[in-house]
Structure formats: structure tokens, C-alpha cells
């Protein structure tokens, strides 16, 4: 039983890492007052670019950096349209998602089935021997270890640093920034682009450290899970981590049980993350909006019919 739990949780961390990175990126953007529904697109361009650069240069680390840059580039388009051109955030984000899907299908063809170097799991001595926690947390690829640092750093930075305060202010009271001579647009743009970089990193983790392959549409909705996750994690980085691993674990339940010969309805399991999201949204309802950054509430409320 504990063995089964270990496998589910371990799979949760493995499969949740890309979701977590994307969701942390989305958290950053939303804390600055911008929703990026194009996160799925950022994941995809990160996955393809990461894999392609790893294949061409022979270095998965170069792929990782390139994946982050690609995610940032796509997010920059979002920032440009939304902040400087005042385009609708939801329409722009969705369009970018389709753009990411289309452009990666187009340019990704050459890398389908192509071999590329990737990250292999590295067991951390001593730590990986700890029962349950060892295999769950310390028997993964280096990118997953790196990802452990992102949420605590983001939490600390948003809370304690001056630049973090500026980002939060951009999301809560942008007019205050103007009074003090800051340009809210620039701060938001920076947050959106940095968020895109995190999503791109997540995509590169998916292709170079997890699936070890590129295939069009391989993110399979994980970017949307990430966006939903940010809302019910109430825009808090540490809760985002918990939620991402929970979704990862839900995705891992079916293979864990099936590999032991148990009957599982994979189709129902596939729907589970989305059903749970809907349930949570239904339960928290309006309270969702109360936790939202003020500037974001304006975006949300402009789209609801009250």
C-alpha cells in the first residue's frame, strides 16, 4: 500500500513539474494584473524549442535555456498586445494558444521521432533512501530539482523584495505606481514575460526530461490545468506547488494501478483533474474573486454579467 502511494506521489512530482512551472509563471503574470490564457502555447513552444535545441547542440541544458526564451518570446507578444495595444486579455491569450499549437506543429515536424539528448533521473545519495519521501522527491531529473527552488524564491521575492512589491502593486493598485513615477505597463510586461519563461521551462522539462520526445500538441491541456490551478490556489505560489503535484498525482493514478493489474477507467481518470477544478471553482465561487489581485478583478468582472 505504501509502495502504491509512493508510486502515485512520485509520479505526481514527475508529471506535476511542468504544470507547476507553468502555473507559477501564470501566478506571476496574474499577480501583476494580467491573465495569460496562452500558457498552453508557451508550454508548447518551450517543449519544441527545448527539444530542438537539445537535438541540434547536443546539450539539454542549452535546450532548457532556449525553451525558457521561447516561452518568454510568446508571452512578450501577449504583453505587447494586452498592455500597449489594450487588446482583450482573454481573446489574445486564446489566440496565442492556437498560434503556439499551429506554429509548433509546423516547425516541429522535423523533430518528431528524432533522437535528442535529455536529462536522466539522478538519485540524490542518502536523501533518496529515506522511506516514501526519498523516492517521491529525490529520485528525479535535475530540472525537477531546480524547480523545487522556484516557488519558495517567488514567494520570498513577492513578499520581501522591493521589485516584488512593485509587481504586487501593479496587480493591486496600478494608479499608485503612477503616482510614484513608476510605469505599471513595464512592470506588468516584465512579469508576463518572466511568467512565459517559466512556462517555457516547464515545456522544455516535459520534452527533454520527462517524455524524451517531441510530438505536436504533446502538452495535452496541461497549460489550461495550470491556469485553473492559479485561481484555486488563490494566487499563492506555495499552494500552486501543492495543486500541481495533486494534478500530477491524479494523472499518475491510472498507470500506477494498471501496471499492477488493477482495472481502471482511463477515460474517467482523464476527466478527473478538470472535474475537480470545476468542483473547486463551484465551491469557492465568488470567494475566488475576493482573493484575486484588485486589478485582475476588473478584468474578470468585465467578463461576468453582473
CA distance linking residue 75 with residue 61, whole number of Å: 21
Q: Does 217 bind another protein (CB under 8 A)?
A: yes
Q: Name the packing angle between helices 2-31 and 39-57 (round to 10°).
A: 110
Q: Does 1 bind another protein (CB under 8 A)?
A: no
CA distance linking residue 62 with residue 107, whole number of Å: 19
Contact 32, 188 (CB under 8 A): yes
Residues 6+ apart with CB under 8 A from 101: 40, 41, 44, 216, 217
Count of residues that interact with another protein, criterion CB under 8 A = 45
Q: Does 266 bind another protein (CB under 8 A)?
A: yes
- Altogether, the residues listed in the chain come to a count of 306
Q: Does 259 bind another protein (CB under 8 A)?
A: yes
* Alpha helix stretches (DSSP H) within 32-141: 39-57, 60-79, 89-108, 133-137
Among 91, 120, 279, 283, binds another protein (CB under 8 A): 120
3-class secondary-structure state, position 15: helix
Q: Does 101 bind another protein (CB under 8 A)?
A: yes
The footprint of another protein on residues 189-208 (CB under 8 A) is 206-207
Q: Does 252 bind another protein (CB under 8 A)?
A: yes
Q: Does 282 bind another protein (CB under 8 A)?
A: no
Q: Does 140 bind another protein (CB under 8 A)?
A: no
- Which residues here bind another protein, judged by CB under 8 A? 7, 11, 14-15, 18, 98-99, 101-102, 105-106, 109, 112-113, 115, 120, 206-207, 210-213, 215-220, 222, 251-252, 254-256, 258-267, 270
Amino acid at each position: 500500500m505504501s509502495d502504491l502511494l509512493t508510486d502515485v506521489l512520485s509520479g505526481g512530482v514527475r508529471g506535476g513539474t511542468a504544470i507547476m512551472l507553468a502555473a507559477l509563471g501564470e501566478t506571476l503574470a496574474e499577480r501583476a494584473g494580467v491573465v495569460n490564457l496562452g500558457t498552453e502555447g508557451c508550454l508548447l513552444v518551450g517543449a519544441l524549442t527545448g527539444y530542438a535545441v537539445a537535438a541540434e547542440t547536443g546539450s539539454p541544458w542549452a535546450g532548457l535555456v532556449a525553451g525558457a526564451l521561447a516561452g518568454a518570446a510568446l508571452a512578450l507578444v501577449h504583453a505587447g498586445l494586452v498592455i500597449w495595444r489594450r487588446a482583450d486579455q482573454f481573446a489574445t491569450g486564446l489566440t496565442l494558444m492556437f498560434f503556439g499549437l499551429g506554429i509548433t506543429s509546423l516547425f516541429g515536424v522535423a523533430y518528431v521521432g528524432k533522437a535528442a539528448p535529455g536529462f536522466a533521473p539522478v538519485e540524490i545519495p542518502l536523501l533518496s533512501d529515506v522511506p516514501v519521501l526519498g523516492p517521491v522527491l529525490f529520485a528525479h531529473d535535475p530540472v525537477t530539482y531546480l524547480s523545487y527552488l522556484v516557488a519558495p524564491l517567488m514567494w520570498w521575492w513577492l513578499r520581501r523584495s522591493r521589485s516584488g512589491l512593485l509587481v504586487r502593486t501593479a496587480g493591486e493598485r496600478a494608479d499608485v505606481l503612477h503616482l510614484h513615477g513608476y510605469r505599471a505597463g513595464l512592470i506588468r510586461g516584465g512579469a508576463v514575460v518572466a511568467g512565459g519563461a517559466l512556462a517555457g521551462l516547464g515545456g522544455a522539462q516535459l520534452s527533454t526530461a520527462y517524455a524524451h520526445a517531441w510530438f505536436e500538441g504533446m502538452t495535452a491541456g496541461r497549460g489550461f490545468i495550470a491556469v485553473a490551478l492559479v485561481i484555486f490556489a488563490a494566487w499563492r505560489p506555495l499552494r500552486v506547488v501543492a495543486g500541481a503535484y495533486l494534478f500530477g498525482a491524479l494523472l499518475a493514478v491510472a498507470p500506477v494501478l494498471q501496471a499492477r493489474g488493477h482495472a481502471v477507467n482511463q477515460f474517467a481518470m482523464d476527466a478527473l483533474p478538470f472535474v475537480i477544478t470545476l468542483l473547486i471553482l463551484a465551491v469557492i465561487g465568488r470567494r475566488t474573486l475576493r482573493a484575486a489581485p484588485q486589478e485582475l478583478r476588473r478584468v474578470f468582472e468585465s467578463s461576468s454579467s453582473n
